[in-house]
Amino acid sequence: MLATRNRLRTSTDFSTTVRSGVRNGRRNVVLYTATIGADEPSRIGFIVSKGVGNAVARNLVKRRLREAGAVSLREYGTGFAIVVRALPASATASWQELLADYNAALEVTMKRLGGRHPKSAALRSNGTTQEGTQRA
């Protein structure tokens, strides 16, 4: 579960991020990233519509995306608002595919924003760090 301070909660926050943010789409997700105050904690919000599937499928996708978001908060702890929209293909995607799409989209949006590059501890889609060590 994400801490309350790290969640986008209002429709205004979502709208602002989607409208003013940088967008990047992948097979399973579309990610919007916008900068907020440099001292503010980064916040993440998720959009998982009924088009993704039934309640069981949507909740599975949300749990997986929340975990990917928690990992990215370690890298980008302050200054960013991120909205993740799950696409229907995400319902049948594996954890590895979903994580790979999330990380790739996040990296592209951060580069477009001129943001910081991921640290070496960032998880790759195979569950290892960039040094090649397995994460516990």
Task: Calculate what percentage of the chain has a pLDDT beyond 70.
Answer: 84
Give buried/exposed letters for 36-66 (b at 16+ CB in 10 A, else e): beeeebbbbbbbbeeebbeeebbebbbebbb
- pLDDT the model gives residue 1: 73
Q: What is the pTM of this model?
A: 0.80
**CATH architecture of structural domain 4-113:** 2-Layer Sandwich (3.30)
- pLDDT the model gives residue 2: 85
Mean pLDDT of 14-41: 93
pLDDT at 122 over 80: no
Question: What pLDDT digit, counting tens, does each position of 78-91 carry?
Answer: 889 999 999 999 99
pLDDT at 12 over 90: yes
Whether residue 30 contacts residue 40, with contact meaning beta carbons closer than 8 Å, is answered with no
